[in-house]
Amino acid sequence: MTDSTCAIGIDLGGTRIKGGIVDAARRITHLTAMDTQAEGGPDHVINRIVSLIGALRAHVPDDNHPPVGIGSPGSLNRRRGLVINPPNLPGWTRVPLVDNIQNAIGVAVVLENDANAAAWGEYAALRDAEPDLRDMTLLTLGTGVGGGLIIDGRLHGGPFESAGELGHTIVVPDGRPCACGQRGCLEAYASATQIVARVNEARRAEEADVAAIRSAEEVAAAVRAGDSVASRIWDEACRYLAVTCINLRHLLNPRVIVLGGGLSEAGDLIIEPVRRYARGMAWGDHDEPELRIAQLGNDAGVIGVGMLALDRRNEPIADASPAGG
């Protein structure tokens, strides 16, 4: 329907909406953001997304109506364009986001889970150097732990469109409670939020009036400085990430496992222990997926969903399906 050479990618988060113009070489040529104001409810947030798209269109050089992709948290029904019930967007229950945005802007909209969108962006970046790469898994380590599965060159959603929720795979039976309602999820040990919470819990148990650690960067700095409590909890997060990597290897055999999200900015401090634990726990060293740090940083979601909008712009819109959600 369009021969655009760029797309608009929108990354919808609980606190910020980020939007960018993404070209076919995965460069962001213009980036902007606004507060989500999630407390205003779905209609208010949808109006904000529409105004953000309007602001971005003004910066599109040769085409006023490039395709639009939206990366959203939580589970989705992509075929029907519904956002089901994300924990960080209160009041959103089966919101027809795609219909609402399409009606307002007059252009087809692609909806994708935010971690899947980031996975697609990282996959596209890796294929520059390795055009034959077909299988990759992304773990995003941020407020929560997300995942995206690229299997045989395609994003894998499964019949219920919820495959790849790697943060809610269980690494400790009957372990710490997770926001999803299960216990012992990877997210309860290895998200930035939970690492900070666990370090603060452990420090307070030793010394009641110790100053709180506020961010994963501060935890990483404490680990580098040799703080024993921070090191123990960091190490445990790395061990459970290694468990997940081994399970992924045996389930899916990806060639590459990419660690993304805010925690991945710790670089070797996170990837080296995960590698070491994975090698220590796994049988043999054949067919071992390569562990890498993500390349696209904070903009992976915007870039990935922009690339998806470009890649899918000529696909027929799928029929509404009873599957999922």
**What residues line the site for Zn ion (CB under 5 A)?**
168, 178, 180, 182, 185
In this complex, which beta carbon is closest to Zn ion, that of residue 171 or of residue 294? 171
Euclidean distance between CA atoms 223 and 234, whole angstroms: 7
Query: 86 φ, ψ to 5°?
Result: -70, 135
Q: How far is the CB of 85 from Zn ion (least distance, A)?
A: 14
Tokens 């229950």 found at: 93
Q: Which residues of 247-277 are buried (b: 16+ CB within 10 A; e: fewer)?
A: ebbeebebbbbbbbbbbbbbeeebbebbbeb
Q: How far is the CB of 180 from Zn ion (least distance, A)?
A: 3
Q: Going by C-beta distance under 8 Å and a sequence separation of 6 or more, which residues neighbour residue 201?
A: none
Q: How far is the CB of 142 from Zn ion (least distance, A)?
A: 14
Q: How far is the CB of 138 from Zn ion (least distance, A)?
A: 18
In this complex, which beta carbon is closest to Zn ion, that of residue 167 or of residue 325? 167
Q: How far is the CB of 178 from Zn ion (least distance, A)?
A: 3
In this complex, which beta carbon is closest to Zn ion, that of residue 100 or of residue 140? 140
In this complex, which beta carbon is closest to Zn ion, that of residue 122 or of residue 165? 165
Nearest to 66 by CA among 35, 29, 96: 29
Inter-CA distances, 269 with 103, 210, 236, 277, Å: 47, 25, 13, 13
Nearest to 76 by CA among 135, 149, 164, 152: 164
In this complex, which beta carbon is closest to Zn ion, that of residue 180 or of residue 317? 180
Q: How far is the CB of 193 from Zn ion (least distance, A)?
A: 12
Euclidean distance between CA atoms 224 and 307, whole angstroms: 37
Please state whether beta strands 290-293 and 256-260 pair in parallel, antiparallel, or not at all (unpaired): parallel
Q: How far is the CB of 144 from Zn ion (least distance, A)?
A: 8
SS3 282: coil
SS3 107: coil
**For 104, left (φ over 0), alpha (ψ -120 to 50), or beta?**
alpha
CA atoms within 13 A on the CB side of 302: 24
In this complex, which beta carbon is closest to Zn ion, that of residue 54 or of residue 177? 177
In this complex, which beta carbon is closest to Zn ion, that of residue 178 or of residue 307? 178
In this complex, which beta carbon is closest to Zn ion, that of residue 190 or of residue 309? 190
Inter-CA distances, 109 with 1, 106, 199, Å: 12, 9, 41
